[in-house]
A and B are shown apart, each in its own frame.
Chain A
């Protein structure tokens, strides 16, 4: 079951360079879905809870997956992960941690908190493109993603 092409990917990334690289890699991989960017943890939580600047109806469509950086200014990625995975309405959304950290404590903590996957950002561009292409292939062509059942 393929993800509907209008379900956005939510990319939570403070670094403009990493954001650009991720978007380019996903587009190179043939991703058709829109990519929405949140620049920090608070922005991401506002988006997911449809509040603040995202309170207008249809301004924050539910993402198919979230790509979450860990080290963010303010509310960091771990806190976003914990909050989403404890929220009965949001916890079904797959969260893929995408970070430079390969610290075993981060890996363990993220899986403990309910991360669906943990991906280390490859340092070279070629590696990044390959990694995003296989991530996209798995989540968009192999997996059944959750869907909101209450609203159409």
Chain B
């Protein structure tokens, strides 16, 4: 089973809008998953790091899917991807990266750094809807996700 409807999706995207394009796209697909929007690399590390100086005590669960915009205001998204992939708690969590500059080159780098897939970034929420809806369909209906905590103990 893939990502369940009650599992957390984390979106890491900077931007001037109150709600990011990706988050709007996710809402427009009718997905009921709780969504945590993190607006900077620093905020993402604080939320996703189980320990450390930026630790955010409000975090309640490990995300089932991370959507990462490669262009963040305070940090290179590829650097953040590298750091997230080093965290044992996130090692098996799918990370999908959205990229817009030098698309092919950046996609290659993101695959090298451990992105599960790379998708081209768009400029309007409407453009995200069909893409995000297929993305959600794939990660919730087609694949089997690792459910952290169910692992070795269940046998």
Q: Which of A's residues lie within 8 Å of B, judged by CB?
A: 1, 88, 91-94, 102, 104-105, 107-108, 111-112, 114, 116-120, 131, 134-135, 137-139, 141-147, 149
Contact = CB atoms under 8 A, between A and B. Distances in A.
B84 to A, nearest CB: 14
Contacts of A116: 116-117
A147 B155 contact: no
Given A108-B151, A134-B137, A146 B107 contact: yes
B103 interface: yes
Contacts of B103: 1, 144
Chain B interface residue number, banded? 20 to 34
A138 B134 contact: yes
B20 interface: no
B111 A139 contact: no
A128 B62 CA distance: 31
A131 B151 contact: no
Interface of B: 91-92, 94, 99, 103-105, 107-108, 111-112, 114, 116-120, 131, 134-135, 137-138, 141-147, 150-152, 154-155
Contacts of A146: 107-108, 111, 118
Given A104-B155, A111-B92, A144-B99, A134 B142 contact: yes
Given A142-B131, A144-B107, A131 B142 contact: yes
Q: Which 8 A-B pairs have the closest CB atoms?
A: A111-B92, A92-B111, A138-B138, A144-B107, A143-B117, A117-B143, A146-B111, A144-B118
B33 to A, nearest CB: 18
A108 B153 CA distance: 12
B25 to A, nearest CB: 13
Contacts of A131: 142
B134 A149 contact: no
B142 A91 contact: no
A147 B109 CA distance: 10
A143 B152 contact: no
A152 to B, nearest CB: 13
Contacts of A105: 151-152, 155
Nearest to A116: B116
Contacts of B134: 137-138, 141-142
B144 A120 contact: yes
